[in-house]
Structure 1
Amino acid sequence: MNDPQKIETRVTVQDEPGPMQRTLGEAVAAGLLVFGVAMSLFHIIGLGFYPVDPIALRSVHLLIPLVLVFALLKRGKRSPGRRMSVFDWVAIGAGLVAVAYTVTHTEEIQFSAASVPDAWMITAGALLTLLTLEATRRIIGLPLVVIAVIFLLYAYLGPYFPGMLEHRGKSLGRISGYLLSDNGLFGVPIHASAAYAFLFVLFGGFLRATGVSSVFMDLAFAFAGRTRGGPAKVAIISSCLFGTISGSGIANVVTTGSLTIPLMKKTGYKPHFAGAVESIASSGGMITPPVMGSAAFIMAEMLNIPYYEVILAAAIPAFIYYAALFWMVDFEAAREGLVGLRREELPNARQVLTSSGYLLIPLGVLIYVLVVEFSSPIRASLLSMVASIGVVWVKEAVDYFRAEGLSGAHPFALARAMIRGLFDKKKPMSLPGMFGALAEGPRGMMEVAAACATAGVVVGMISLTGVGLKFAALLIDLSGGHLFPALVLTMIVCIILGMGLPATASYIVTVAVAAPALIKMGVSPLAAHMFAFHFSIVSGTTPPVALAAYAAAAIAKTSPLAVAFTGMRIGIVAFVVPFMFVYAPPLLMAGSPGEVAVATVTAFVGCILLAAGIQGIMLVKAEFADRALFLVASMLLIFPGFYTDMTGLGLAAVGLLIQFRRKVRLRLSGSAFAPVAPSSPKE
């Protein structure tokens, strides 16, 4: 029975064209649709069934930004909005010719970094580099392009730089040939994008087409909607769940925030706080296994470790991140006297799992194949795509038998129904639906592929000139050889780079210049990379840029800077967690089960105390003494060590005792200054 008071939890994503996006004619749009399907099929076949030469795979993958960006995005605001310019057609043609050259000369290109390139190779390298930089400028912006150009100029003008930055300089031919090798454009970043990230993005598209996003929202509302400040907790849970298949903070904000932000405002949260909760929670999607954006695949490739080790290492930090956010909004709701939603407004968890739980099976397949079977990401993503198609069609067959009954069902009638369903546009896994998902996959990879290719240019020039070692020595000198200042400097570099770069590019550049220094100072390679990865994501919510905050502010109809600064306050744990796992490697699953358990529990308790200290409330509203005790105790528990843990627990106990005594006094006096505790709204 449908209740008219039920809240709307159905997720719909509408892609609104940006100011630089074109509206193309039917013929060109149809051509791009065919191109997208062809690219998806090429990756599926080339990775899963018929192995393709690595250079050829990366070259063809580079066509995604070289074709789609020039076709879909204008060169400038004054460029034609309904047709492609001559320059765009020439750029696409030149890109196709250059890629055709690389595909047919893979053996020569593999050795181009250590040999003298010929004129054709120099031309192809220069052409692909220039086209990649222009495509990156259009879809990402100037900052990453400027950084790449600076490193290119540094490689060429080496003798003119002062002091430790001086080097002999490289010829244009040497630079161009190096860029065409697997140390430049076709290096680790574009390899991770082509071999792993593409299939995961494609799987995410198939999974979203089944309607799983609405299942995530329903479950989040069912589990947390009735609790104190329920909509904010729903935002956190749904963003965490959606982040497992998204890997994009802004997409997460737009998808889940369109439902949760208005509900948060309705239940009493201030607009800037509602936007801040959604932006911070959505940004955490990129640190949530198993997808974690393309940077996680690049990390696995750079460290030469299996991908499942990366997602296992990311699990506990992600849990602590979201747990801390959960307590932040709970204490905010307690302080403001906010309640949750009524039961009759919310979906029932059992009914959701009974009716739509089967849509979670593909995600379970992905996690099982990666974590239990320790299989490759390629196999995991392909099997999960098959599962996302299979569960929909099995459900169709089950519904048919339920409608007809086992005795009345006929195999030929079932076959006819299935064949009709294949051509029904309303069915998510019909041929048109699958065709659309295949076509959308490359569009979802435009920014990632462009960023990875341009980041490859930067990394290539760092490798060619050896400046990475000089940066590492400089970082050690600036920090005085001490780890904590070195970590702070790395954090600052990440945040500054992240203000103008996508998280993936920011991570790659930061790791190239800072990770060697951190590793030399005793940090494990995985912890050093994860540290840079986390802060590259934090930059997306850090003012003044804070793209996720701007997206949330638009929905909340409030100031973006207010959202960003509030997000920094409630999401302060994002600045703390990376330091935690550097000093406590068990948080990255590096240690015995006992060490992992102790580190996790103390960090979790520390984050709760941090939330209580910042929000100024635990059992009752805090005063200066107990608030200070909670903050100091949280810092002691967050950083590992037997004595710091014991001292932190002792201070926390004193703070709780003060709170408990105040709570008793308030109760006895009947004060309106009511004590608070986690609760559900009265029905």
Structure 2
Amino acid sequence: MTDVNMEVKQQELLEKYDSESRFRVFTNKTTGFLVSAFAVAISLYHLYVSYFGTPVTLKHRSLHVALIVALGFFVFPGFKKARRDRMPWYDLGLGLLALAPAAYIWIDYLGIVHRAGIPNQWDLFMGVILIALVLELVRRVTGLALPIMGILFMLYAIFGQQMPGFFGHRGYQWQEVVNHLFVSTDGIYGTAVGVASTYIFLFILFGAFMAKSGMGQFFNDIALALAGHTKGGPAKVAVIASGFLGSINGAAVANVVTTGAFTIPLMKKTGYNDEFAGAVEASASVGGQLLPPIMGAAAFIMAEVLGVQYRVIVMAAILPALLYYVGIITQVQMRANKKGLKGIPKDQLPKVKDVMKERGHLLIPLVFLVYMLFFSGKTIIFSAFLTIIVTVMVSMLRSTTRMNAKDIFEALDSGARSAVPVAVACAAVGPIVGVASITGFGLSMAYAIVSLGGTSLLFTLIFTMVTCIILGMGLPSIPAYLITATMAAPALVQLGIEPLVAHLFVFYFAMFANITPPVALASFAAAGISGGDAMKTGFESVKLSIAGFIVPYMFVYNSGLLLQNTTLAQGTVVIVTSVIGVIMLGSAAEGYFWATISIVPRGILFVASLLLISANLAQDGVGLLIIALVLLFQWRKAKQQHREVISV
């Protein structure tokens, strides 16, 4: 397949499975330039306020939403089959209308503050416009799920007194609901938009600059150089490259399509079947959002919601994320061993020295970012701003990565466009979170989940997991987390689980909705590239991600896996035993270690691996003993098979 054909197929898959990528491509150069200039202006505004400071909260958030929604109507067509080479007059009108609520807030800010919850007709009029435009744009960008949920929650706020049981409440007038969603910081201009207008926008912009400098190519090349020659090397390349890129951009489906176009054909060429090749790419791409330091920007939302420092989230997330990837790598290795797959010959691979010489300097911005976030004492916003500047400067060190004025313009343009789906989704979550805050829906939902689980923590966790996967179907990662954090996390907190642990638990399963059938967009996109069956690829993705499905249960029962309240010695024991446990879990899932594992030892190994992941010394000892016995049995079995092969 030629490069042109591959690009066409990538775009087709993106548009099919990732509605966030259905941008207009204008044939009229003047229109295209004006829209790009508007996008660049949005990026420059966010860079400006990150350095000089943001205006008053409501003013800044309203302007952010207005600019993003306007750009959204300019670049996203109303329907899948609508023409994408021009902008119809009504989308231009809707885009300009989107600026009106922010202009109104800036002009009458003192009046809005003085009215303090007693809206006038203009307040209500502008509020209705804002809500309608946000819901319409999010329909275009992410599909029907979010707008339908937003409308249902607003109806729930108005007609709540007619709801039965503990979901009933006193009910609110529509004017109260509109005013709460419009001029309070608990509605559309809530925490999610606050984080989107600062941290998230800047890190998406950082990702655009990194992509423009060639970071994606660097990750692919260095992964090939390090792991391409090993057994099943291309699959390991997919895991490494997709994990790093997923952490930076947080876009699972887009990551699958862009990285997968390169890695999936390589995996198939070395002997992996279609479904497994697609599943490796899907599970690795989704896992990037669990991987520090950026975690697809969700860590910033979580820190804001919980009121803790960003570094606390990152430190807690490190070990579970690494265990997730160890689980995938283990199954990749075991599948290669079982099928006798080879890697790519070294003479066909780039050399580490050459890759580092050509593009290794692109790691400097990442190292600088980590330093700024964890050791400089500077704010996250300022750190992101400086990192973008450093990225541009570092790109100048080599001609192959050097960014000229056109590249910088395109990065500013791309960053603003890429921010639209996340930012408008954060705004669209406003009606859900806002209504939940005034009606107590979150507590009612928590009560329902706890009631279903009874006195059993395990059953409550299972019901919470199912709830998170259902709520996360077809949604971008950040709104998926916000919705599950509002509806499901309180149930775990009610049972005495630490809020951070509860939020990480729901975040994991909200992310896994992307690979869990029947709605598994990342898996389906990967199947579109591999040519495999979509549902089989989804189930294969779940199997590859089995460590990710189990580890959240483990850190709920023992927060040592989050390296909290633990000494260096205890933390070392937890890391060693949990890594061994995940390796054994992957072997049990794949059914291979030195030789094929029959069904009974496989089940025993599965149980023993769970004992190790639990981070309890007594259970660790039992688990290690059982694993040692199973591996001894496997070693003898492999030795016997080797003798039989020699004798034949």
- TM-score category of the 2 structures, normalised to the smaller one: over 0.9
C-alpha separation between the residues in 1 aligned to 2:352 and 2:81? 51
Q: CA deviation at 1:563?
A: 1.0
C-alpha separation between the residues in 2 aligned to 1:453 and 1:160? 28
369 and 552 in structure 1: CA distance in 2 versus 1, 3 angstrom threshold:
same
Q: CA deviation at 1:111?
A: 7.4
> Residue 592 of structure 2: SS of its match in structure 1?
coil
Q: CA deviation at 1:15?
A: 5.0
78 and 159 in structure 1: CA distance in 2 versus 1, 3 angstrom threshold:
same
Report whether the alignment pairs 1:562 with 2:523: no
> Residue 169 of structure 1: SS of its match in structure 2?
coil
Q: Any idea what the Cα deviations from partners look like across 1:172-227, whole Å, max 9, x if unmatched?
A: 11111100110000000111111100000101111111112111111111111111
Aligned to 1:363: 366
Aligned to 2:527: 553
Runs of 4+ with >6 A deviation: 11-14
Report whether the alignment pairs 1:620 with 2:622: no
> Residue 459 of structure 1: SS of its match in structure 2?
helix
More off after superposition, 11-20 vs 376-385: 11-20
RMSD in angstroms over aligned alpha carbons?
2.1
> Residue 321 of structure 2: SS of its match in structure 1?
helix
> Residue 488 of structure 2: SS of its match in structure 1?
helix
Residue identity in the other structure for 1:390: M
**Correspondence list, 1:254-293, <5 A:** 254-293=257-296
> Residue 192 of structure 1: SS of its match in structure 2?
helix
Residue identity in the other structure for 2:435: M
**Correspondence list, 1:322-333, <5 A:** 322-333=325-336
Report whether the alignment pairs 1:208 with 2:211: yes
168 and 146 in structure 1: CA distance in 2 versus 1, 3 angstrom threshold:
same
Residue identity in the other structure for 1:456: G
C-alpha separation between the residues in 2 aligned to 1:246 and 1:78? 27
552 and 381 in structure 1: CA distance in 2 versus 1, 3 angstrom threshold:
same
Q: 1:631 aligns with which of 585, 600, 606?
A: 606
Q: 2:469 aligns with which of 487, 495, 498?
A: 495
Report whether the alignment pairs 1:176 with 2:150: no
Aligned to 1:353: 356
Whose radius of gyration is greater, 1 or 2? 1
> Residue 308 of structure 2: SS of its match in structure 1?
coil
More off after superposition, 537-546 vs 157-166: 157-166
C-alpha separation between the residues in 1 aligned to 2:524 and 2:29? 33
Q: Any idea what the Cα deviations from partners look like across 1:302-335, whole Å, max 9, x if unmatched?
A: 0111212212221111111111100001001111
Q: 1:651 aligns with which of 601, 619, 626?
A: 626
Report whether the alignment pairs 1:61 with 2:36: no
79 and 244 in structure 1: CA distance in 2 versus 1, 3 angstrom threshold:
closer
**Correspondence list, 1:402-551, <5 A:** 428-551=402-525
More off after superposition, 125-134 vs 98-107: 98-107
Contact kept in structure 2, 1:504 and 1:536, CA below 8 Å = no
C-alpha separation between the residues in 1 aligned to 2:519 and 2:203? 28
Aligned to 1:399: none
Q: CA deviation at 1:580?
A: 2.0
> Residue 579 of structure 1: SS of its match in structure 2?
helix
Aligned to 1:36: 39
Report whether the alignment pairs 1:393 with 2:410: no
Report whether the alignment pairs 1:96 with 2:84: no
- For these two proteins, the number of residue pairs brought into alignment is 634
C-alpha separation between the residues in 2 aligned to 1:183 and 1:110? 15
C-alpha separation between the residues in 2 aligned to 1:127 and 1:475? 35
Residue identity in the other structure for 2:573: V
Aligned to 2:586: 611
C-alpha separation between the residues in 1 aligned to 2:364 and 2:378? 18
More off after superposition, 351-360 vs 527-536: 351-360
640 and 77 in structure 1: CA distance in 2 versus 1, 3 angstrom threshold:
closer
> Residue 60 of structure 1: SS of its match in structure 2?
helix
Contact kept in structure 2, 1:549 and 1:564, CA below 8 Å = yes
Contact kept in structure 1, 2:246 and 2:296, CA below 8 Å = no
When normalised by structure 2's length, the TM-score is 0.94
109 and 560 in structure 1: CA distance in 2 versus 1, 3 angstrom threshold:
farther
C-alpha separation between the residues in 2 aligned to 1:240 and 1:23? 30
84 and 352 in structure 1: CA distance in 2 versus 1, 3 angstrom threshold:
closer
Percent identity of equivalent pairs:
38
Contact kept in structure 2, 1:198 and 1:445, CA below 8 Å = yes
382 and 142 in structure 1: CA distance in 2 versus 1, 3 angstrom threshold:
same
Q: CA deviation at 1:81?
A: 4.3
Q: Any idea what the Cα deviations from partners look like across 1:530-566, whole Å, max 9, x if unmatched?
A: 1111111100011122111121111112221121111
Aligned to 2:344: 341
Q: Which runs of 5+ in 2 are unaligned?
A: 17-21
> Residue 244 of structure 1: SS of its match in structure 2?
helix
Aligned to 1:641: 616
Report whether the alignment pairs 1:127 with 2:101: no
C-alpha separation between the residues in 1 aligned to 2:140 and 2:33? 22
Contact kept in structure 2, 1:65 and 1:132, CA below 8 Å = no
C-alpha separation between the residues in 1 aligned to 2:108 and 2:229? 62
Contact kept in structure 1, 2:447 and 2:491, CA below 8 Å = yes
Q: Any idea what the Cα deviations from partners look like across 1:493-549, whole Å, max 9, x if unmatched?
A: 111111132222121111112222211212111111111111111000111221111
C-alpha separation between the residues in 1 aligned to 2:505 and 2:108? 38
Aligned to 1:151: 153
Contact kept in structure 2, 1:276 and 1:552, CA below 8 Å = yes
Contact kept in structure 2, 1:228 and 1:334, CA below 8 Å = yes
Q: 1:666 aligns with which of 636, 641, 644?
A: 641
> Residue 245 of structure 1: SS of its match in structure 2?
helix
Q: 1:162 aligns with which of 141, 161, 164?
A: 164
Contact kept in structure 1, 2:214 and 2:401, CA below 8 Å = no
Contact kept in structure 2, 1:64 and 1:442, CA below 8 Å = no
Residue identity in the other structure for 2:339: E
C-alpha separation between the residues in 1 aligned to 2:57 and 2:577? 45
Contact kept in structure 1, 2:326 and 2:579, CA below 8 Å = yes
Residue identity in the other structure for 1:245: I
Aligned to 1:677: none
When normalised by structure 1's length, the TM-score is 0.89
Report whether the alignment pairs 1:247 with 2:250: yes
C-alpha separation between the residues in 2 aligned to 1:557 and 1:28? 38
Q: 1:320 aligns with which of 303, 319, 323?
A: 323
C-alpha separation between the residues in 2 aligned to 1:656 and 1:209? 48
C-alpha separation between the residues in 1 aligned to 2:23 and 2:219? 31
Aligned to 2:19: none
286 and 512 in structure 1: CA distance in 2 versus 1, 3 angstrom threshold:
same
